[in-house]
Amino acid sequence: MRPSRKLVAVASLAALLAVGAPATASASIPGSELHTYRVTLENLTHGQPFSPPVAATTRQGGPHMFQVGRPASGELEQIAEDGNEVPMFHLFNGATGVTQAVDVARPLTPRGTNKGGFDDHVTFTIKARHGDRLSLAAMLICTNDGFLGLDHVRLPHKGHPSEFLLKGYDAGTELNTERSGDIVDPCSGLGPVQLAGDPNGNIDDAVDETPHQRIHLHPGIQGNGDLCPDLHGWENPVAKVTVEEIED
């Protein structure tokens, strides 16, 4: 049983709010012919904040952060349920087949908003070799276990930026209760409205989906709990990622 998601998510958000703009954390394995890519993630939803993204460049045949139609790993479950990207970063950092892993360390607010010094977009750089693939994942914060991401997309050639439109996915690890007590508290801090909160913390096992389902397209906010489709809902795509190779 993992600790209460409230303790993980609120502590993380409180730390981010305290320091303002934390430095990007990254690590890579040694290698030659590395190139630098600039990656910009933009939130296209009006009511869904994103947790701090984690990204990685990998060789063909390297590890996946997620694959639609397959079960979520424990690391992806922590992103999708708790907005905790650190385990995924540690899994990829220095792993075989990984060129570089980056913990972006900043959440994103809904489109057109700025809260606590955070914006609806974030830009970071990542190293890769020509022929590498890019993966990325972040939580749709005002959901039980929703997330967005890229899975092994091709990096562009220099002078030809690529754009990717991201869909919202369901990790299949938790029931979509949409109750405030089962949603991480940063939904209130960064989302469109203040929710009732969860003063006692909640235990993930209480809403665990047993058995876990495979990763699939998220059905969206249904309005059967404390979340509101008009406020927290979305239509795909939920985000846009722009990638371009730049000078080192």
Distance CA 76, CA 7 (A): 18
Q: What pLDDT does 210 receive? A: 87
Q: Give me the DSSP letters along 148-172.
A: EEEEEEEPPPTT--EEEEEPEEE-S
48 and 231 in contact (C-beta within 8 Å)?
no
Q: What pLDDT does 10 receive? A: 42
Q: What pLDDT does 209 receive? A: 87
Q: What pLDDT does 146 receive? A: 98
- Does 35-246 carry CATH code 2.60.40.2130? yes
Q: Is the pLDDT of residue 5 over 70?
A: no
91 and 65 in contact (C-beta within 8 Å)?
no
107 and 148 in contact (C-beta within 8 Å)?
no
Q: What pLDDT does 19 receive? A: 38
Q: What pLDDT does 22 receive? A: 40
- The proportion of the chain whose per-residue pLDDT surpasses 70, expressed as a percent, equals 83
Q: What is the pLDDT of residues 194-210, one digit of tens each?
A: 987 665 555 566 789 88
Listed by start position, the domains of the chain span 35-246
Q: Which of 124-128, 140-144, 200-204, 228-232 is predicted least confidently?
A: 200-204
Tokens of 2: 């993992």
Distance CA 215, CA 165 (A): 18
How confident is the prediction for the chain on average, in pLDDT? 89
Q: Is the pLDDT of residue 4 over 80?
A: no
Number of neighbouring beta carbons within 10 Å of residue 5: 25
227 and 183 in contact (C-beta within 8 Å)?
yes
Mean pLDDT of all residues in 173-187 = 94
